[in-house]
A = this chain, B = another copy of it.
Amino acid sequence: MERTAVTIQHVASLAKTSPSTVSNLLNGRTDRMKPETRERIELAMERLNYRPSQIARQLKTGQTPILGLMVPSVANPFWGEFAQQAEATAREHGYQVLLGNAGRDVEAEERYAESLLSLGIRGLIHGSSPLSLEHLGRMAVQGMRVVTFDHRGASPPSPTPGEDEYDSVSVDNTTIARLAVEHLVALGHRRIGLLSGPLKTSSRQLRFLGYRDALEAAGIPFDPSLIWEAHGFDGFGDVEGAELGRIGTLALAAGDRPPTALLAINDMFAFGAYAAVRELNLRIPDELSIVGIDDIVFAALASPPLTTVRQPLQALLAAAIPRVIARVEGRDKGPAQHQILPAELVVRGSTAPPRVDASQGSSVSGPTVRRCRRTTTR
């Protein structure tokens, strides 16, 4: 009752044939095989309950049907959905997925990549985006095929060094932010805050750019006092996003001329903003409009439901997974590809026109607003 000790030889001898013939069948080289031989083998495999050992196979071929999956943290709902989608997509292609929560730490990522390599894993889905992607290049040199997300938006035309060592599939981060800001501007907002963790990743920088561009396009001067970027803080705020969002919102609201609307760098930050707004006894969207990015499950569930810019996770992974696999299997040897997918604004209940006396905005110290909650008659 110990391990499955039945090998290809057992099958072969039961089927009165040779291991190589069995191997041929196993690998679909069944073209010129006598049907009866084939049947005998299949019968034998059946009866022995034979399961080929991937281990032995991969020692031989150097191929293993596993992909590495590196995300900051699956505890973050966005990355959880990402991982789920990655696993599902990979499975459709006959691959499994080895999870790695590297917390955006370059060293952790490298250690992780090394262990993948020694496990014979040669394909990596890299869902993270520290500014420097050099280490990905290093991985590539060691034989790792990687696909990143969020790398290289539309805007900066100059390629990052090492860029051609890996493929990427990303949303247009600049446009994401622009979409959000345009929506807010259309609603009449002119003091639009930006709430973010450290602007260290390229996706965040790109979003920042989009924010600025959209403001400029609308003729609204850029006001640095409306930017809140977490600092004195060691990390990227993937898990603590909500807490950072809360703190940031409080800080922004305490300013002289607080924003009437906020673009949060992602939905977690947006929910932190919700919490802050609750503490301040303000109301969303009447006194503060909030837009998130990602469209995680809770966006639709929150009260009010969050207006956000959706990342097309499914499409992203559907593009990425076959690509790594093709690379790993050597079917795709072309130059690095950088694909960019569109994002979509989802307008829900957290955005509305600013109050007329917008210039006064919200304030911590002001008189507590007492007003009835809007009730809709059904």
Central interface residue in A79, A85, A99, A376, by most chain B CB within 10 Å: A99
Name the contact of A272 in the complex, choosing from B118, B141, B272, B301 (C-beta under 8 A): B301
Find chain B residues with CB under 8 A from A80 CB.
Answer: 74-77, 79-80, 83
Mask of A312-330 contacts with B, CB within 8 angstroms, 1/0: 0000000000000000000
Find chain B residues with CB under 8 A from A53 CB.
Answer: 59, 118, 120
Name the contact of A242 in the complex, choosing from B3, B54, B281, B297 (C-beta under 8 A): B297
| CA distance in complex: A31, B309 (Å) | 60
Name the contact of A83 in the complex, choosing from B58, B59, B74, B272 (C-beta under 8 A): B74
Copies per complex of this chain: 2
A301 touches B75 (CB 8 A): no
Find chain B residues with CB under 8 A from A369 CB.
Answer: 375
Chain A contributes a number of interface residues (CB within 8 A of B) equal to 67
| CA distance in complex: A101, B87 (Å) | 7
Known: A142-B4, A368-B377. A55 touches B58 (CB 8 A): yes
A64 at the interface (CB under 8 A from B): yes
Known: A3-B62, A55-B64, A368-B377. A84 touches B77 (CB 8 A): no
Some 18 contacts from A to B, beta carbons below 8 A apart, are: A51-B117, A53-B59, A54-B118, A66-B119, A73-B84, A74-B87, A75-B77, A76-B80, A77-B298, A96-B99, A97-B98, A274-B301, A275-B301, A275-B303, A281-B376, A302-B302, A368-B375, A368-B378
Please give me the 8 A-B residue pairs with the lowest Cβ-Cβ distance, nearest first: A80-B80, A75-B84, A55-B120, A75-B81, A99-B99, A3-B143, A74-B84, A74-B80
